[in-house]
A and B are shown apart, each in its own frame.
Chain A
Amino acid sequence: MTVFEVKEGISLALTAVRTHKMRSFLTVLGVLIGVASVIGMVSIITGLNNSMAEQIESLGSNVIYISQYEMVHFGGLSAEERRRKDITAEHAEAIGEYCPSVGAVSPENHYWARGGNQVKYKDNKANRPAVVGVWPDYEIVNNCFAVEGRFFTEGNINFRATVTILGNDVKEALFPNLDPIGKQVRINGKKFTVVGVMEKKPKFLGESQDNYVLIPLSTYKRTYPEDKALTLLARPVSPELTDKAIDEITQLLRRMRGVPYDKPDDFAISTQEDLMDMYKRITGAIYLVMVVISSIGLLVGGVGVMNIMLVSVTERTREIGIRKAVGARKRNILWQFLIEAMTLSGSGGLLGIVIGLLLGEFVGAVTPLAAGVSVFWIILGFSFSVSVGLVFGIYPAYRAARLDPIVSLRYE
């Protein structure tokens, strides 16, 4: 097969596609849908991934979460889970004291008032921010620092000071053009003095991550005594020590919580990596759906291509006879029809790529996802569509190649 034959084959095929526009379009509709769904879904997942990666970076990759239950939970709680004791500040203190690989630890508790938390300064109201009780190590553990004023001191904790640090959204809502430091705000009716403002965090899935106020955990406990379940966040001394730190924490908590040696942990420890794994499992399921849809599309498209190629072979029996009469060999005819089938399904693939990209653009425009698709997927989608032509074109092309010159020349 020469380069010329390939070029000639493609140009012949394109002529055929152009002369039978509607027929060709319907034929490759399946291929188009298959490829478009791959490109569209991949670009949406890529968008999710990008937002996710931003979030992970903002938290730092080596934060260890310690909680009463798994962070992502499928189904209801089991009997064992319902019996679990709370995670408490004592646990956090012990981890800080007895786990040498842990560099910093901070318990967190989030308060959700019915109807949303009320945070006010004079007539200005924040938009129902989260109220979070924390320790001074919050800054280090979350890799997020106070940019105005200062963070809480040990003294603030010990004296259950009514001080607060504002997330950037709350600052902007309450103090659009005032220095907030030293001002009195009301959090769910209680007076707090603003001592600092936190730096802005990147948005996650288009949601601002800055709509919160921090208060000392001790103050939190006194203000909301009914809410006891803590989440602990710990940061190892160095990233390589993450596994060791997890080990130390596990041993310590089992001892403190009196878990018998033959029973599983009655708490959950997870890292950003674990969350990432979870996330990947979810996107994996989406990929699976995508693969199914596109396989069906490609299969339907393939059958369409095969059908139309068989029609084409019959319609062009005489042409095949002529070509054979002037010296075309079997393989010349075979390739001519294979190239035609591949061009047909490949153009369906190209259309599918364009539509898939537009779909991704659309999703990117109407949602906060930074949807986008890498060249890899475009090439893969195109190769798949071409392969469909190759696979489903073989039988018709073989039929064409096998035709007897005399019989086909006589064909009316």
Chain B
Amino acid sequence: MLIRTQDLWKIYEMGREKVNALREVSLEIEKGEYAAIMGPSGSGKSTLMNLIGCLDTPTKGDYYLNDKLVSQMNDDELARIRNKEIGFVFQTFNLLARATAAHNVELPLVYNGTESEVRKRKAREALKMVDLEDRATHKPNELSGGERQRVALARALVNNPALILADEPTGNLDTKTGHEIMNIFKKLHRQGNTLIIVTHEHDIATYADRIIYIRDGAIEKEERKKN
């Protein structure tokens, strides 16, 4: 089991008011799975993704990644997990504006001490995976939205992570470009990567083998593709 969460709670305290962003979420995802998370706005999808992606820690409950208890780790250990085990793709791309595409892709490798030569080679390979070798020296503002998201994808997979997470990766793209991105995800899944994506759109969710529905911070239901 790659991911196992047990009664995860995320509670935001806003002064006297408490927001239960996640309530008793228990979820298991196996290696090689392709899952989509759907739900209305404000239902807690991003909150869950951030917990799974080790960007945030739960208020209550346990989270095991690769059988390691992540929910008890300190900041530096979490940073290491984010670097080694997880590739995160955001709706708003989140690229360094002043760095080239290649440099953006190299970034995770910088933080695990990979040598310059190796970094350059791996970044080139990752850009090739997303068909962007010829844009390596472009800065984000010299790229289209779809291209930016492909750079972000290349960055997510450059470290060969155990898990690729994408929070509404097509949210800022038109339908056609969105499907191009989804095709790259499909390719990555075929190569054996584990993927979790959050989406509003049913079209997009159907790329996945498994759809998890969330409402008001709790898992409502699940669907699995039959094959």
Binding site for B on A (CB under 8 A): 2, 4-5, 8, 15, 318-319, 321-330, 332, 405-406, 409
Count of A-B contacts judged by CB separation below 8 Å:
58
Given contacts A2-B113, A327-B82, contact A322 B50 (CB under 8 A): no
14 A/B residue pairs, CB under 8 Å, sorted by A = A2-B113, A4-B110, A5-B110, A15-B98, A322-B96, A323-B111, A325-B55, A326-B82, A327-B111, A329-B75, A329-B111, A330-B79, A332-B111, A406-B55
For A5, what are the chain B residues with a Cβ–Cβ distance below 8 Å? Answer: 110
Q: Are B98 and A326 in contact (CB under 8 A)?
A: no
Partner of B111, one of A321, A328, A405: A328
The 6 tightest CB contacts between A and B, nearest first, are A327-B83, A326-B108, A327-B111, A329-B79, A327-B82, A329-B76
Quote the shortest CB–CB distance from B46 to chain A (angstroms).
Answer: 9
Given contacts A4-B116, A15-B98, contact A323 B75 (CB under 8 A): no
B: number of interface residues (CB 8 Å): 26
| Nearest neighbor of A12 in chain B, beta-carbon distance | B98
| Nearest neighbor of B50 in chain A, beta-carbon distance | A406
| Nearest neighbor of A7 in chain B, beta-carbon distance | B116
| Nearest neighbor of A1 in chain B, beta-carbon distance | B113
Contact stretch, chosen from B25-33, B87-95, B186-194: B87-95
Q: Are B95 and A322 in contact (CB under 8 A)?
A: yes
Quote the shortest CB–CB distance from B8 to chain A (angstroms).
Answer: 16
Q: How far is the CA of A140 from the CA of B107 in the complex (A)?
A: 77
Quote the shortest CB–CB distance from B163 to chain A (angstroms).
Answer: 14
For A326, what are the chain B residues with a Cβ–Cβ distance below 8 Å? Answer: 82-83, 88, 107-108, 111, 155
| Nearest neighbor of A8 in chain B, beta-carbon distance | B110
Partner of A325, one of B75, B84, B94: B94
The B94-153 residues at the A interface (CB cut-off 8 A) are: 94-98, 107-108, 110-113, 116
Binding site for A on B (CB under 8 A): 50, 53, 55-56, 75-76, 79-80, 82-84, 88, 90, 94-98, 107-108, 110-113, 116, 155
Q: Are B75 and A409 in contact (CB under 8 A)?
A: no
Given contacts A327-B84, A330-B79, 5 further A-B contacts (CB under 8 A): A4-B116, A326-B82, A327-B79, A327-B80, A330-B75
Quote the shortest CB–CB distance from B95 to chain A (angstroms).
Answer: 7
Quote the shortest CB–CB distance from B111 to chain A (angstroms).
Answer: 4
| Nearest neighbor of A409 in chain B, beta-carbon distance | B94
For B98, what are the chain A residues with a Cβ–Cβ distance below 8 Å? Answer: 15
Q: Are A330 and B107 in contact (CB under 8 A)?
A: no
Q: How far is the CA of A406 from the CA of B55 in the complex (A)?
A: 6
For A8, what are the chain B residues with a Cβ–Cβ distance below 8 Å? Answer: 110
For A405, what are the chain B residues with a Cβ–Cβ distance below 8 Å? Answer: 55-56
Quote the shortest CB–CB distance from A333 to chain B (angstroms).
Answer: 10
Q: How far is the CA of A318 from the CA of B83 in the complex (A)?
A: 18
| Nearest neighbor of B76 in chain A, beta-carbon distance | A329
Quote the shortest CB–CB distance from B87 to chain A (angstroms).
Answer: 9
Q: Are B96 and A328 in contact (CB under 8 A)?
A: no
Q: Are A327 and B108 in contact (CB under 8 A)?
A: yes
Q: Are B82 and A319 in contact (CB under 8 A)?
A: no
For A323, what are the chain B residues with a Cβ–Cβ distance below 8 Å? Answer: 107, 111
Quote the shortest CB–CB distance from B121 to chain A (angstroms).
Answer: 15
Q: Are B84 and A406 in contact (CB under 8 A)?
A: no
Q: Are B82 and A325 in contact (CB under 8 A)?
A: yes
Quote the shortest CB–CB distance from B94 to chain A (angstroms).
Answer: 5
For A2, what are the chain B residues with a Cβ–Cβ distance below 8 Å? Answer: 113
For B90, what are the chain A residues with a Cβ–Cβ distance below 8 Å? Answer: 409
| Nearest neighbor of A405 in chain B, beta-carbon distance | B55
For A322, what are the chain B residues with a Cβ–Cβ distance below 8 Å? Answer: 94-96, 107
Quote the shortest CB–CB distance from A1 to chain B (angstroms).
Answer: 10
